[in-house]
Amino acid sequence: MARITVEDCLANAESRFDLVLMAARRARQLSLGRAPLVEAENDKPTVIALREIAAGKIDRSVLEPEELHLFLTAEELAEQRATAGWEQALDAAAHVDLTHPPTEGSAPTADEAP
């Protein structure tokens, strides 16, 4: 099939930036298993996405990211990190032998530390 150019696609995008966003989102959808809306001909997902945009098969309304649940927001990531810190602390505490508390002189003092 003939080469696809940016100019072929710009008629169906508001700007070059918009075109890049649409192509990237659609290419991700294709690589996650979505069916192409144009003949694929052994092309990579990015090329297929650009062909779909040039053909007018894809616009911004179709590309609202359905896969947002696959990504974490900054708040969710911070919460996960905080939770992981607590889990590590709890795991470390679980390995402390509370049945035999340290006796006086059993723990090294600051003078004895290497």
The pLDDT, as a whole number, for residue 61 is 72
The predicted model gives 2-23 an average pLDDT of 86
Among 73, 41, 55, which residue's Cα sits nearest to residue 26? 55
The radius of gyration of the chain from alpha carbons, rounded to an integer in Å, stands at: 28
Start-to-end CA distance of the chain, whole Å, equals 72
6-68 CATH, one of 3.90.940.10, 3.30.710.10, 3.30.450.20, 3.30.2320.50: 3.90.940.10
Is 49:32 a contact under the CB 8 Å cutoff?
no
Interatomic CA distance for residues 11 and 43, integer angstroms? 22
14-58 pLDDT, tens digit per residue, is 888 889 888 998 999 899 898 999 998 889 999 999 999 999 998
70-114 pLDDT, tens digit per residue, is 555 667 767 777 777 666 666 666 666 666 655 665 555 555 555
User: Amino acid identity of 84?
Assistant: A
Interatomic CA distance for residues 19 and 5, integer angstroms? 12
The pLDDT, as a whole number, for residue 108 is 54
Domain boundaries, the chain: 6-68
The pLDDT, as a whole number, for residue 50 is 94
38-42: long-range contacts at Cβ-Cβ below 8 A with a sequence spacing of 24 or more? 39/1, 41/1
The pLDDT, as a whole number, for residue 30 is 92
Interatomic CA distance for residues 50 and 97, integer angstroms? 62
pTM of the model: 0.54
